[in-house]
Amino acid sequence: MNRCRVAVAQYALGHTIDTNLEQIADAVHNAVDEGAELVLLPELGHLPYFCIEEDAQYFSLAETIPGPASDHYAGLAREASIIVVATLFEKSHGDVYHNTAVVYDKDGSIAGTCRKMHIPNDPGYYEQFYFTEGTQGFHPIETSLGRIGVMICFDQWFPEAARSMTLNGAELLLYPSAIGFDPDDNDSEQIRQRNAWITIQKSHAIANGIPVMFSNRLGREMAKAETGMTTDFWGSSHIIGPFGEVLAKAPVDRPAVITADIDPEESGRVREIWPFLEMRRIGFYDQS
Amino acid sequence: MNRCRVAVAQYALGHTIDTNLEQIADAVHNAVDEGAELVLLPELGHLPYFCIEEDAQYFSLAETIPGPASDHYAGLAREASIIVVATLFEKSHGDVYHNTAVVYDKDGSIAGTCRKMHIPNDPGYYEQFYFTEGTQGFHPIETSLGRIGVMICFDQWFPEAARSMTLNGAELLLYPSAIGFDPDDNDSEQIRQRNAWITIQKSHAIANGIPVMFSNRLGREMAKAETGMTTDFWGSSHIIGPFGEVLAKAPVDRPAVITADIDPEESGRVREIWPFLEMRRIGFYDQS
């Protein structure tokens, strides 16, 4: 990986997919205007967060990869000549459904895909109703910019996932996300949850000497059904340097395209001073 | 583990071991006065941080366990009726040396020991000159208060160590530490390092739904030799709740005994809401 500028976009999404796609196009063009060579979009970034409820009608949103939505992202990447990392509701062979990140290279080609490995099933995040967990493990995707390790939202809570991706050669970790407050939680609980989310992702940078970027959805989304289920997605997208320092961050309550310069030599310097990867006691860790 | 109050002590140390031991006695009694049932001391907490230089004369500081220093700690624990977690420069059979944490139960008995698993060898932290790495892995120690998982300083940078200790049944993680600034580093580098250290330990709480406490030495220590090697130990001991929230913290520049109440039921609540331990994809993590 060479020194490069990367971007993260966050924006509010609704049930009108055409409007969502317009916002995405604007965000991608903003990223290009800022000099970025890669832009990370939020999880399921052109769809409503339908996992807020269990309703089989939403399976109609799933598409094959390639397919119409995927072709749209590919065209956007090619036209703007920027790497786009998007996640799609994937319908694979045999009606198996996945939450899948797709990396479109600057020429619009698909550099690779990875399916979400850890599928949550909390109230308002009924993802196990829709998605089968990935079986590909944690392997970076080779792009024209370098090897990037993409994991999806809930995957971020597992240090062993970030570790595996780094040991397998990733030079940059990316987490498209969809996470928010339960409006019924009080302020201190909301702050505790958001801080934990930011902290765990900083920790992946520190433990592995690697830059980390994570995107998030923004604003209120509600179930169509009368469950009253409501989530206030908390934005707060970040770009983090290889020793956990904040390079750029987005606000909790407004759309944003943030950018930062990633210097792979800085990862090397950090790993020389704090050689954690080198000093692991392989064979002593209990993993089950 | 029942609900209990725990304490962390930080203090400045020098080459006068009797003075160091007086400070430790004061700190332990302060912890008892605050109602604590367990007190964590800094790494090698009655010795100068001799690893600041490579000098074979320091091997004379090593002792067997049990031995005079160990008996002293045992007496302190018994007399004050508090669990004391100390680390010693251990001379084991056959002149093998370790950096070893010893857990003294309230009756002064040794509940268990664990040797440092990851041994750093940075400038000013020449620990590989003195210590052989432990081979016991990551197993909690049963005490009258509950099962506690003790790791030592540099072990804290390895998420797989905290994960292993938790999976093996620890109810509380403890890290006695000795870490400081290089006085030649500028302010922003010093802040970056200290923040990384605090963040990685918060992340173990978050990833594992477990409280974490860590102690540190305080103040300037210098090599006896004319290498000019100097470390400003940065204090900043913490007690962290099971979702990464700060329960208590000590200042960067003053002695302190901090306390907090640990509620094991809170760990259970966190793990029900954020069931990370339960949702690991065992078999998909690459560990070498």
Among A220-229, A270-279, B239-248, name the one with the lowest average pLDDT.
A220-229
Considering all CA atoms of chain B, what is the largest pairwise distance in Å, rounded to the nearest integer?
55
Long-range contacts of A107-113 (CB under 8 A, 24+ apart): A107/A77, A107/A78, A107/A81, A107/A144, A108/A74, A108/A75, A108/A77, A108/A78, A108/A79, A109/A74, A110/A65, A110/A66, A110/A70, A110/A74, A111/A83, A111/A141, A111/A142, A111/A143, A111/A144, A112/A141, A112/A142, A112/A143, A113/A65, A113/A141
**Cα–Cα dist A166/A168, whole Å:** 5
pLDDT value at residue B228: 82
- A192 contacts in B (CB within 8 Å)? 243-245
pLDDT value at residue B77: 98
Encode pLDDT of A98-124 as tens digits. 999 999 999 999 999 999 999 999 999
Domain borders along chain B are 4-279
Q: How close B159 comes to chain A (CA, Å)? A: 6
Residue entry with tokens 């520190």: A206
pLDDT beyond 90 at A186: yes
Q: Are A275 and B119 in contact (CB under 8 A)?
A: no
Q: Is the pTM of this model over 0.95?
A: yes
Residues B118, A203: C-beta atoms closer than 8 Å = no
Residues 6 or more apart whose CB falls under 8 angstroms from that of A252 comprise A194, A234, A235, A236
Is beta strand B147-150 parallel, antiparallel or unpaired with respect to B172-176?
Answer: parallel
> A-contacting residues of B 186-245, CB under 8 Å?
192-193, 195-196, 199-200, 202-203, 206-207, 243-245
- Write down the catalytic residue from B4, B37, B43, B127: B43
- Tally of CB atoms within 10 A around B55: 16
Confidence bin at A257 (pLDDT 50/70/90): very high
Which chain A residue has its CA at the smallest distance from B137's CA? A284
Q: Read off the tokens for A162.
A: 């970030």
Q: How close B228 comes to chain A (CA, Å)? A: 19
pLDDT beyond 90 at A94: no
**Cα–Cα dist B91/B102, whole Å:** 13
Q: How close B116 comes to chain A (CA, Å)? A: 11
Confidence bin at A225 (pLDDT 50/70/90): confident
**Cα–Cα dist B217/B252, whole Å:** 10
DSSP symbol at A236: -
The complex scores an ipTM of 0.96
Confidence bin at A135 (pLDDT 50/70/90): very high
pLDDT value at residue A93: 84
Residues 6 or more apart whose CB falls under 8 angstroms from that of A147 comprise A1, A140, A141, A169, A170, A171, A172
Confidence bin at A228 (pLDDT 50/70/90): confident
Q: Is B116 a catalytic residue?
A: yes
Please tell me if residue B246 touches chain A, with a CB cutoff of 8 Å: no
Active site residues of A: 43, 116, 153
All residue ranges of chain B with pLDDT < 70 are: none
Residue entry with tokens 């469950």: A227
- Write down the catalytic residue from B37, B106, B116, B127: B116
Q: Is B202 a catalytic residue?
A: no
**CA B255 distance to own-chain centroid:** 16
Counting one residue from chain A and one from chain B, the pairs whose CB atoms sit within 8 A come to 141
**Architecture label for domain B4-279:** 4-Layer Sandwich (3.60)
Q: Are B283 and B33 in contact (CB under 8 A)?
A: no
